[in-house]
Structure 1
């Protein structure tokens, strides 16, 4: 640890949402995980993490998440991992979260929170770890954490951790959250899940009609969760609508903010969500650059 660069004041950083613009499942691996191909893009909308230094060496979460023990929270686990990976004792931290992203929505909220915690503590504690090292640590917390750590829209393979930077169009999105919570484990264990989509190359994914690509989890989620099916049917009136991750959030892509907000204003009563812009550089990394 380099004591000369320790952050003396609290630090607030964004933890943005992500979308899986498509998600193909190629097969099941020997380790029980699924082989995937996907395209990650960030949104300019998400949670916010504040880290405040302590002098007693403790890691304290100022707010608990409903139904999640602090020790199981990815934010706490990320902080614990950073402390254990440091080359000398760290001073401790209090972590605040301003939560906007729905849990179990397929927007990567927990993974994004973990990634922001890793980068925030790297700065707060003056650890000087590289992004590559932080991404390696993040993979121990979840397959989606590295893309948030590295901070660039990416083509993902393997379980989603093999990343190649990508430049999808930075369009506007209407993101809707039907009234249900979906377990990733439940969807990936379903017998009816498509697990044999042919592998594609990166270049064709950006050529021609994007509707050729899909989310292989969608059929199973539609069948198990009528709320998602109804939401997709409504949003599809205005253009292609798709599930992100294993759900429950769905999204439609639009070329302008005004078009997206017009659709958002006409949404069915009682459904939550937001309008956001797709961005290829994470808002987290933009903020860190501004602070340098």
Structure 2
């Protein structure tokens, strides 16, 4: 378990880390409309945190207001109620969500919050579900949720549910929030989106072969929101390798990798003040160990 405060009745400061897509290729589309993709998901040490307090009356509630996220549609509440229903638990929970990750940023904040909720309440409620069962449950909430329960950096295929553990280099990232919200359905439904990138192999990424590691969603997002393109173009001046600066997920956050913290900090100090920006370190595993 993580080093946050944990008792039989509560678990405070549970981390819900962000992820970056080191690349994101769209390789096809299923008949049901879901897109087939390949990506490497990289955990980073930038996190939301959640507090859980067990209730005996079965009631589940979020204890704080979050702009733009009504409680009934919050993935945290949906995750808690899904686990409660699946496990037939008679317990409930008071949940406080400390939101640090941007919404609509492509860093997986909502999915990570849901995954941490499933892991924490599975433990506190003593539901007894193993990792595979929690991942299957999480898939009902969203394609990215199983990854955070999987808890390791992963080569991702299918609609995001096929995961192979992968070791990634120790890196630091400068991340910029351009200040726009990108609805994922808008990007995936765009006619301009290319859906025929040639599939790659996990060994291609591991061996750093000469493959164009790009984000197929980036061009569509940049066409819709010039501020994303502006942030990428600004970061490009600090690239170590061509193509290092790119968008993560369906946007809007963009990032660039650096070999150490000092290099990342020097770039961070130069970021124009009209953008929110931060640095993050690559993680090899989720802070919560199942």
- Give yes or no for contact 1:174–1:263 (8 Å, CA) kept in 2: yes
State TM-score, norm by structure 1. Answer: 0.93
Helix, strand or coil for the counterpart of 2:267? helix
Equivalent positions of 1:176-187 (< 5 A) are 176-187=176-187
Number of residues paired by the alignment?
280
Cα distance in structure 2, aligned partners of 1:105 and 1:200 = 26
Helix, strand or coil for the counterpart of 1:283? coil
How far off is 1:211 after superposition? 6.9
Helix, strand or coil for the counterpart of 2:221? helix
Q: 1:281 aligns with which of 274, 281, 285?
A: 285
Gaps of 5+ in 2: 1-6
How far off is 1:174 after superposition? 0.3
Helix, strand or coil for the counterpart of 1:197? coil
**2:135 — aligned with what?**
135
How far off is 1:168 after superposition? 1.3
Q: List 4+ stretches of structure 1 deviating above 6 A.
A: none
Cα distance in structure 2, aligned partners of 1:111 and 1:217 = 19
**1:99 — aligned with what?**
99
How far off is 1:207 after superposition? 2.0
Helix, strand or coil for the counterpart of 2:268? helix
Gaps of 5+ in 1: 1-5
**2:87 — aligned with what?**
86
**2:13 — aligned with what?**
12
Decide whether aligned partners of structure 1 residues 210 and 58 sit closer, same or farther in structure 2, where only a CA change above 3 A counts. Answer: farther
Query: 1:265 and 2:269 equivalent?
Result: yes
Equivalent positions of 1:95-244 (< 5 A) are 95-208=95-208, 212-239=212-239, 240-244=244-248
C-alpha distance after superposition, 1:168-215 (max 9, x if no partner): 112000011001000100000100001100111110112236772100
C-alpha distance after superposition, 1:259-282 (max 9, x if no partner): 001000100121102101011211
Bigger mean CA deviation after superposition, 132-141 or 62-71: 62-71
- Give yes or no for contact 1:19–1:107 (8 Å, CA) kept in 2: yes
**2:250 — aligned with what?**
246
**2:4 — aligned with what?**
none
C-alpha distance after superposition, 1:135-157 (max 9, x if no partner): 00000000000010110000000
- Give yes or no for contact 1:16–1:284 (8 Å, CA) kept in 2: no
C-alpha distance after superposition, 1:76-135 (max 9, x if no partner): 000001100114x32210000111000000000000000000000011111111010000
Cα distance in structure 1, aligned partners of 2:116 and 2:122 = 10
Q: Comparing both structures, which one devotes a greater share of its residues to helix?
A: 1
Bigger mean CA deviation after superposition, 67-76 or 180-189: 67-76
- Give yes or no for contact 2:204–2:211 (8 Å, CA) kept in 1: no
Cα distance in structure 1, aligned partners of 2:211 and 2:63 = 43
How far off is 1:283 after superposition? 1.9
- Give yes or no for contact 2:57–2:90 (8 Å, CA) kept in 1: no
Cα distance in structure 2, aligned partners of 1:217 and 1:272 = 22
State TM-score, norm by structure 2. Answer: 0.94
